[in-house]
């Protein structure tokens, strides 16, 4: 069994947090936010819900929550982990429901690693090694007490550095990665996983390559024991009374910081080219026309990747297939900025040359190329 103490830091210190993150791929920082900050987050969640409903926007789109992204201690840790050249790429989300509902009752429990993309194939596995963690981290704030209740995040500490042990061929609905790892085939899955015992006020940081899953249930008669989601699902079917209840709605804030480098660039490309429409829309929310949001991030010394625009574009193009609006696509393509030359959605110079003579042909060109990239992603998933 994994002891959560091995990845817990009781008193904030950026060096210690960075050390724990590098070693375990996950760090639970106790009491990171004070009561005033927690109240501000709670009020921000309610305001965001009124503004965006169930769209789950990235926090940068949320005027009452975007201060979290530039919280001085968060920036300190991010820089300690990733160096001074940070990128914020708007792959976060706000999870909020006023009462227990789908977010709480149907979390994505499957064990998965989010890292993806390599120079040969943006939809393939991320390159990994046993020494250097993937250069991006997720920051998570949970609003409920999950020390003795169901709903916390399940993690496999150390799995961010698994390479040959990382077997994606063993995929099913409960896990996209084999646990136990092939090097230790007779071990019990529970020996590798733990439910993070967060309380309101805590901050959890995990590496993007860490194996994890949402909404783990705790057993009444053995709350510290972490089940594999497969066993948990079987027990939920057979005898759900064995689990502790959720303490309330599973409300949380998630956001990422990465280093400015090719691995992260490929990861950003991967998710913008593969994420399903219902998650794509929030990426584009509220930012594209608002310089204040850009300066919030750049003012703290990080680069902002506005791939949300790419995402809006992809959504519109999908719509056009079903009779959408070509003018909207044209204006989005014109505003679209490719942030790197890797796996570009389309060639801007070709588009611009065509647009001079026939904008419809230009839109057709962009549409064809973007759809090709996105469907390659869908096939690879
Ligand atoms: O909802 C959670 O607790 C975890 C979210 C998650 O699985 C992810 O960020 O990839």
pLDDT at 54: 82
Comparing 161 with 340, the larger pLDDT belongs to 161
134 pLDDT higher than 80 = yes
Q: What pLDDT does 364 receive?
A: 86
360 C-alpha to ligand 1 centroid (Å): 41
Task: Inform me whether the pLDDT recorded for 369 exceeds 70.
Answer: yes
Please report how the helices 307-321 and 326-335 are oriented relative to each other, as an axis angle in degrees rounded to 10: 160
The reported pLDDT for the residue numbered 168 is 73
**pLDDT grade, residue 73 (50/70/90)?**
very high
Q: What is the pLDDT of residues 264-309, one digit of tens each?
A: 999 988 887 776 555 555 555 545 456 777 788 989 899 988 776 6
Residue 192 banded pLDDT, cuts 50, 70, 90: very high
Give the ligand 1 atom nearest the CA of 95: 1
Domain residue spans in the chain? 4-271, 310-381
Mean pLDDT across 148-162: 96
Task: State the average pLDDT over residues 174-200.
Answer: 90
Give nearest CA residue, ligand 1 atom 1. Answer: 214
Q: Which two tokens stand for residue 349?
A: 């110079």
How large is the average pLDDT for residues 61-73? 94
Nearest protein CA to atom 10 of ligand 1, as residue: 114
Atom of ligand 1 nearest to the CA of 107: 1
Each residue's pLDDT tens digit, 78-117: 999 999 999 998 889 999 999 999 999 999 999 999 999 8
Residues 206 and 216: their CA atoms lie apart, in Å, by: 16
- Contact status, residue 305 vs residue 321, Cβ threshold 8 Å: no
> What DSSP letter does each residue of 311-347 carry, written as one string?
HHHHHHHHHHHTT--HHHHHHHHHH-----STT-SS-
Residue 41, token pair as written in the block = 């987050």
Smallest Cα–Cα separation from 42: which of 205, 200, 214, 215?
Answer: 200
**In the structure, which protein residues have their CB atom closer than 6 angstroms to any atom of ligand 1?**
107-108, 114, 138, 153, 212-214, 252, 254
Residues 319-330, buried b or exposed e (16+ Cβ, 10 A)?
ebeeeeeeebbb
Q: How far is CA 46 from the centre of its chain?
A: 21
- How far apart CA 15 and CA 83 sit, in angstroms, is 13
Q: Evaluate whether 211 touches 115 at the Cβ level (below 8 Å).
A: no
The predicted model gives 181-207 an average pLDDT of 93
- Centre of ligand 1 to C-alpha 361, Å, is 41
Strand partners, 219: 222, 243
What tens digit of pLDDT does each residue of 296-343 get?
Answer: 898 989 998 877 666 667 777 777 777 767 787 788 787 777 777 777
Radius of gyration of the chain (CA): 21
Tell me, what's the pLDDT at 377? Answer: 55
pTM: 0.90
Structure tokens, 374: 């996105």
Residue 284: per-residue pLDDT: 52
Give pLDDT, residue 312.
67
The pLDDT of residue 286? 47
The pLDDT mean for the chain works out to 88
pLDDT of residue 247 exceeding 60? yes
Tell which CATH classification among 2.60.120.620, 3.30.465.10, 3.30.565.10, 3.40.470.10 matches the domain 4-271: 2.60.120.620
Does residue 251 carry a pLDDT above 80?
yes
Is 24 a residue whose pLDDT tops 90? yes
């Amino acid at each position: 069994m994994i002891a959560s103490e091995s990845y817990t830091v009781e008193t904030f210190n950026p060096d210690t947090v960075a050390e724990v993150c590098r070693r375990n791929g996950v760090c639970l920082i106790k009491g990171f936010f004070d009561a005033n900050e927690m109240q501000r987050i709670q009020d921000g969640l309610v305001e965001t819900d009124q503004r965006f409903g169930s769209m789950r926007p990235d926090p940068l789109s949320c005027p009452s929550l975007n201060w979290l992204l530039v919280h001085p201690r968060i920036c300190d840790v991010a820089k300690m982990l990733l160096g001074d050249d940070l990128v914020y790429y708007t792959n976060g989300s706000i999870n909020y429901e006023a009462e227990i509902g789908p977010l709480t009752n149907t979390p994505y429990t499957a064990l998965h690693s989010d890292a993806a993309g390599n120079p040969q194939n943006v939809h393939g596995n991320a390159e990994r090694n046993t020494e250097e963690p993937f250069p991006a981290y997720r920051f998570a704030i949970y609003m409920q007490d999950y020390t003795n209740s169901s709903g916390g995040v399940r993690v496999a500490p150390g799995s961010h550095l698994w390479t040959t042990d990382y077997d994606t061929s063993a995929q099913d609905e409960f896990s996209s990665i084999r646990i136990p790892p092939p090097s230790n085939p007779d071990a019990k899955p529970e020996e590798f996983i733990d439910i993070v015992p967060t309380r309101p006020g805590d901050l959890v940081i995990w590496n993007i390559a860490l194996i994890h899953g949402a909404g783990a249930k705790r057993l009444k008669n053995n709350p510290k024991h972490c089940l594999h989601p497969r066993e948990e699902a079987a027990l939920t079917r057979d005898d759900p009374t064995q689990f502790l209840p959720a303490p309330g709605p599973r409300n949380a804030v998630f956001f990422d910081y990465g280093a400015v480098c090719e691995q992260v660039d490929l990861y950003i490309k991967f998710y913008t080219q593969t994420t399903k429409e219902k998650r794509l829309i929030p990426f584009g929310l509220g930012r594209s026309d608002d310089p204040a949001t850009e300066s919030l991030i750049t003012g703290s010394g990080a680069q902002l990747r506005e791939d949300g625009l790419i995402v809006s574009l992809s959504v519109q193009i999908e719509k056009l297939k079903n009779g959408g609006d070509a003018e909207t696509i044209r204006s989005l393509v014109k505003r679209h900025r490719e942030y790197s030359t890797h796996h570009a959605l389309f060639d801007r110079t070709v588009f611009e040359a065509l647009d001079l003579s026939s904008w419809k042909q230009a839109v057709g060109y962009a549409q064809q190329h973007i759809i090709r990239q996105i469907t390659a992603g869908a096939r690879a998933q």
